[in-house]
């Protein structure tokens, strides 16, 4: 009797889980479906989730009439460069903070930690002024430089490297391995998980960034995908199908990264308690 009751409970719970999954997924189905529809079909009643004929006109609009391929290329370029710079400089700094000893180390690390709680929005004005004074306004370099030397990245990798036993480092040192060798041959290979987490999180954050490009970029040809999409939406806010075609394209890399790196994304959440 009790068992039966429990079984019914499980079925009810499963149905609720399916209903929630539907709510989470349905906006993406709408996005995909609308991107293949003509304007007159999008808001038809009842909703046709699968369009009768797949029209490519919206993708054509996005690709030909505005420079969406250009935005895509810009974003990919900025994302790759920031990710590379961030992984390199953050891992070097994290190595220095966790495995090397020098005067002032802990004070410097405290300065890093202290700025982690300053929200970027609170300092975006002075940061903008710095960028302007350096003559970097409306260049991709502005986004690259403000994104590359990330404090959170240093913190995440340091926490990761702290778990590598010092005895390993000590043993290598006795065997005549210098700091560069220890970094490249011992610490980096043993921090693979932390590095992968940082890569995946960085990719996602930079790809989805909207406010940074909005402040630092001006000319159309330099826009990133989020900025391009938001601007397009503002200028043609009734071209529903084309807006959805743009969002579909902007989501493709995110979906791919999620499929490859889901484990690392979930791992990264453990560190979020300390970020911002």
Partner 1 sequence: MKKKYRLNRKECLAGYLFLIPNFVGFLIFTGIPVVMGFFISLTDYTGFGSMNFVGFSNYTKMFHDSDFLIALKNNLFYSLTSVPLTILFALLLALMLNRKMYGGSIFQTIYFFPNLTSMVAVGCVWLQLFDSKKGPINQFLTNVIGMENPPKWFWGVSTALFTVVIVVVWKQAGYYMVMFMGGLKNIPGHLYEAAKIDGAGPWQTFWNVTWPMLSPTTFMVTILTFIASFQVFDIINVTTEGGPGRSTEVLVMRIYKEAFKYGRMGYGSAIGYFLFLIIFIITLIQWRGQKKWVAE
Angle between helices 240-272 and 2-35 (to 10 degrees): 130
Q: Which of 106, 107, 119, 176 binds partner 1 (CB under 8 A)?
A: 119
d(CA 261, CA 201): 9
Give yes or no for residue 262 binding partner 1 (CB under 8 A). yes
Residue 239, token pair as written in the block: 């071209």
Residues 58-77 binding partner 1 (CB under 8 A) are: none
Q: Which of 56, 184, 211, 256 binds partner 1 (CB under 8 A)?
A: 211
Q: How far apart are the first and last CA of the chain?
A: 51
Give yes or no for residue 127 binding partner 1 (CB under 8 A). yes
Shortest Cβ 54–partner 1 spacing (Å): 19
Contacts of 232 (CB under 8 A, 6+ apart): 62, 66, 242, 243, 246
d(CA 106, CA 156): 16
Report the residue number, 220 or 276, with the smaller CB distance to partner 1: 276
Longest CA–CA separation in the chain, Å: 76
Q: Which stretch binds partner 1 (CB under 8 A): 52-60, 61-69, 172-180, 189-197?
A: 172-180
Instruction: Mark 181-210 with x for binding to partner 1 (rule: CB under 8 A) and - for no binding.
Output: --x--------------------x--xx-x
Q: Which stretch binds partner 1 (CB under 8 A): 52-60, 64-72, 76-84, 175-183?
A: 175-183
């Amino acid at each position: 009797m009790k068992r039966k009751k429990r079984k019914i409970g499980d079925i009810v719970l499963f149905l609720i889980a399916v209903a929630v999954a539907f709510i989470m997924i349905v906006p993406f189905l709408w996005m995909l479906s609308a991107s293949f529809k003509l304007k007159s079909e999008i808001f038809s009643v009842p909703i046709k989730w699968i369009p009768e004929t797949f029209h490519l006109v919206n993708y054509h609009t996005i690709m030909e009439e505005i420079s969406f391929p250009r935005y895509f290329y810009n974003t990919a370029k900025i994302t790759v460069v920031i990710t590379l710079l961030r992984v390199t400089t953050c891992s070097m700094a994290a190595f220095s903070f966790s495995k090397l000893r020098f005067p002032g180390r802990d004070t410097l690390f405290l300065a890093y930690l202290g700025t982690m709680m300053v929200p970027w929005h609170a300092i975006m004005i002075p940061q903008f002024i710095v960028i302007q004074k350096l003559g970097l306004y409306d260049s991709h370099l502005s986004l690259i430089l403000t994104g590359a030397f990330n404090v959170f990245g240093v913190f995440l990798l340091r926490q990761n490297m702290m778990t590598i036993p010092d005895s390993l480092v000590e043993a290598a040192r006795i065997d005549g391995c210098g700091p560069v060798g220890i970094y490249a041959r011992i610490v980096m290979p043993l921090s693979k998980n932390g590095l992968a987490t940082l890569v995946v999180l960085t990719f996602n954050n930079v790809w989805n960034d909207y406010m940074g490009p909005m402040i630092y970029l001006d000319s159309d040809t330099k826009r990133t995908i989020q900025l391009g999409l938001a601007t397009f939406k503002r200028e043609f806010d009734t071209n529903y199908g084309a807006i959805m075609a743009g969002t579909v394209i902007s989501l493709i890399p995110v979906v791919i990264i999620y499929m490859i790196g889901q484990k690392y994304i979930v791992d990264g959440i453990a560190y979020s308690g300390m970020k911002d």
